[in-house]
Amino acid sequence: MLTMNDKRQRHRSQLRHPSVSFSALIVIVLAATAAVVESITFTINVDSGTETCLTLPTPPNEKASIRGTFELFDEEKAISAKPLRVVLYDAQQAIAYKSAQNAGQGMFSADGMGKFRLCVENGASKTNPAARRPDGEDRQVGVSIRVKSALLQQMNDFNKQKQTAFNKQENNRNTLSIEERRHLEWEESQESEKLKRTEQIAELTDSLSSKIDVLSDHLNYLKVRHLIHEDISQQTFGRIIKWNVIQGFALVCISVGQIFAIRKVVEKRRYM
């Protein structure tokens, strides 16, 4: 049986653990919001039969996560995006991601260290020249890239450290009484369960963060599409105004010419 002192210690332990779990949750949320090391969104104009590649360095001596999205802006060309392909190579130049055939949009992700390379191909491939299939159409592609610290990897390292601490306590159990051993086992089971819950929360937070990033990228691409359509509309409107002015000027010239022609005819008839 447990003494009153042991019960008080257990009760205090139960009061302490929730605060530890809540603190870990706060750390996870803050880490998720501050996990982005570098973020960039840009537009690439890829000529037919060419490819454009970018080097993506990760923080030195640290495992990072490369995540991003891409989208073809031209809706008509997006219907037939077969020549378009987005490929992500890792530090060993192995393919970490390759977009599906005829995909006008998509998302990519890879974990690792070193320099990654992202290539946007429009009917061309330096690594596989036999895959060349240009169709003569230039394409405008929006790309968003985020380099994040590997939050889940950090959580796994933290769990390993906690497990190492548990193993050290295991070696000292021989000097403890039966009640102290039971209390220690109970604390270890509670701590292990909290670590599992914390890891699950970290995974859910990471997944939610990725989905929010994808939604944010899609909204940015919609803004770019709107600007492109607005520019086309302004150009079309400007051309319409230009041709209306030319047509008006031509009508004025024709009218003036007709007036002079009628005037000459009237003057000839007057003199006859």
What element of type H or E holds 165?
A: helix 151-171
pLDDT (0 to 100) of residue 271: 65
Q: What is the edge-to-edge ordering of all strands in the sheet holding 64-72? A: 36-46, 139-149, 64-72, 105-112
Taking a C-beta distance cutoff of 8 angstroms, is the pair 100, 113 a contact?
no
pLDDT given for residue 246 in this prediction: 93
For the whole prediction, is pTM greater than 0.85? no
Angle between helices 178-271 and 151-171 in degrees, nearest 10 = 180
The bridge status of strand 105-112 relative to strand 64-72 is: antiparallel
The span from the CA of 114 to the CA of 61, in Å, is 8
The two structure tokens encoding residue 212: 């929010």
Domain boundaries, the chain: 4-32+153-222, 36-149
**Residue 79 binned pLDDT confidence (cut-offs 50, 70, 90):** low
Tokens linked to 157: 């390292």
Decide if pLDDT at 164 tops 70. no
Percent of the chain's residues with pLDDT above 70: 68
- The architecture that CATH gives domain 36-149 is Sandwich (2.60)
Which tens digits make up the pLDDT trace of 196-210? 777 777 778 777 877
pLDDT in tens, 10-31: 434 433 443 344 454 444 444 5
How is residue 229 written in tokens? 């359509």
